[in-house]
Amino acid sequence: MKTCPSCTRNLPRTQFSARKQLSGNVTLRTYCKLCDRLSATQERRGWKPALRLWKSVKGRCPSSDITPDDLRIPAVCPVLGIPLRQEFSGKRSDATPSVDRIEPAKGYVKGNVVVVSWRANRLKGDATLAELRQLATFYAPMEEK
Ligand SMILES: [Zn+2]
């Protein structure tokens, strides 16, 4: 198993492209096949989806120091594991990428933003980590029946 740093999924090694070195050693790509393919597509499109997210952040927070590169859209939502849409046509849905502030009070600054699905962002709202834990602790036993 190997973890893809882009989508944070822990995947079997077959999900990573292999490269044969001149030495004969085989090395695996850093990112999983899905993320690799996706970043190729985004590159071709000139990062338009990330650019669009970035513009909306700049609209909300002009002093933000994040760049479109900080807002690369992963293949799947790192929280919920659902595939993320790569274009913004049509209505906003659960799978629409959105920018979440890890700690809301810190704002849209480098290191405090992560691209997640709109559903994950909505569920989290402005909850703190402690509150999210309380929610899970409260509801988990009720589901076990
Ligand atoms: Zn990946």
* 113: β partners: 101
> Could you give the maximum distance between any two Cα atoms of the chain, in Å?
57
Instruction: Compute, in angstroms, the gap from residue 16 CA to the centroid of ligand 1.
Output: 9
Mean pLDDT (the chain, rounded): 87
Distance 69 CA to ligand 1 centre (A): 16
pLDDT of the residue at 19: 87
Residue 5 has a pLDDT of: 82
Distances (CA, A) of 144 to 79, 133, 138, 141: 22, 17, 12, 5
Please give the distance, rounded to the nearest whole angstrom, from the Cα atom of residue 63 to the centre of ligand 1.
30
Residue 85 alpha carbon to ligand 1 centre in Å: 14
pTM of the model: 0.68
34 CA to centre of ligand 1 in angstroms: 6
According to the model, what pLDDT value does residue 82 have? 93
The residues spanned by each domain of the chain are 1-44, 47-145
Which residue, among 2, 1, 72, 80, has the nearest Cα to 38 in the 3D structure?
Answer: 72
Identify the architecture of domain 47-145 in CATH. Answer: 2-Layer Sandwich (3.30)
55-78 pLDDT, tens digit per residue, is 889 888 889 999 888 898 888 999
31 CA distance to ligand 1 centroid (A)?
Answer: 5
**Centre of ligand 1 from the C-alpha of residue 49, in Å:** 17
Q: Percent helix, strand and coil across the chain, each rounded to 5?
A: 40, 15, 45
Is there a contact between 85 and 96 (Cβ–Cβ < 8 Å)?
A: yes
Mean pLDDT of 93-116: 91
Cβ atoms < 10 Å from Cβ of 108: 20
Ligand 1 mean position, distance from CA 33 (Å): 7
What are the pLDDT digits (tens) for 16-38?
Answer: 999 888 888 889 998 889 888 87
End-to-end CA distance of the chain: 33
Q: d(Cα 97, Cα 55) in Å, to the nearest integer? A: 13
